[in-house]
Amino acid sequence: MPVSFDLSGRTALITGANTGIGQGMAVGLAEAGADIVAVGRSDADETGEKVRALGRNFHFIKADLSSIAPIEAVVAEAWDKAGGVDILVNNAGIIRRADSLDFSEEDWDAVMDTNLKVLFFLSQQVARRWVADSRKGKIINIASMLSFQGGIRVPSYTASKSGVAGLTRLMACEWASKGINANAIAPGYIATNNTEALRNDETRNRDILARIPAARWGDPSDMAGAAVFLASSASDYMHGAIVPVDGGWLAR
């Protein structure tokens, strides 16, 4: 069978697609032929314009993914409005920064709930639909360099992204035999809202760039190729992989 990255006729559900990495992946998947269902608490008008300009359908579901409360309704609406989804991209995430000696329980819980708990239970709800319908599916989780490393001043983010890597492998172990591929992308240092503080810190920015062989911060669009690959039939025998897209950061 020839290798194909064509996503025509498929629908991708993407959380946190209003800006940054989520938007970059949404546009990339649409360029490959997928329709997009975006989920988030902030309107995704710009993403919608970009997707529709490519001739693809776009539907936005407004939901606060800081807890699992809206998950059942989100999945129901995606199936009702889009006829179901074939690809789930768990991109929504937050970060809180403070020295570990001073880190608060509130910041710990907020990050773990959004980055890990919601990711698992949204995946569970979608996977249940796929299994019930005997429908194949692709799950793409968004991990991090801190799925491999410890980081500085981001204890809950490090814990959550290490957990994302572990859950991706668990999903693969349990769901591969059911026709579901679960893999993850681990972005390097990407120019987004989450990294604005680092880019504005002259010393940290200089040190980060010195470590990246590609000698630049990543752009959200740099995530699109990996997302298309993992969403397509070209990756049908990939299960439980954590794919770094990092400008060579981990190779240094």
Q: Which residues belong to the active site?
A: 157
- Residue 162's DSSP bridge partners are none
**Count of CB atoms situated within 10 Å of the CB of 140:** 28
* Cα 231 from Cα 70, distance rounded (Å): 25
Contact 77, 61 (CB under 8 A): yes
Asked whether the beta carbons of 118 and 68 are under 8 A apart, the reply is yes
- Side chain identity at 41, as an amino acid letter? R
> Cα–Cα distances in Å, from 201 out to 68, 155, 192, 205?
34, 20, 14, 6
Cα separation values, 215 from 59, 95, 206, 252, Å: 37, 24, 10, 12
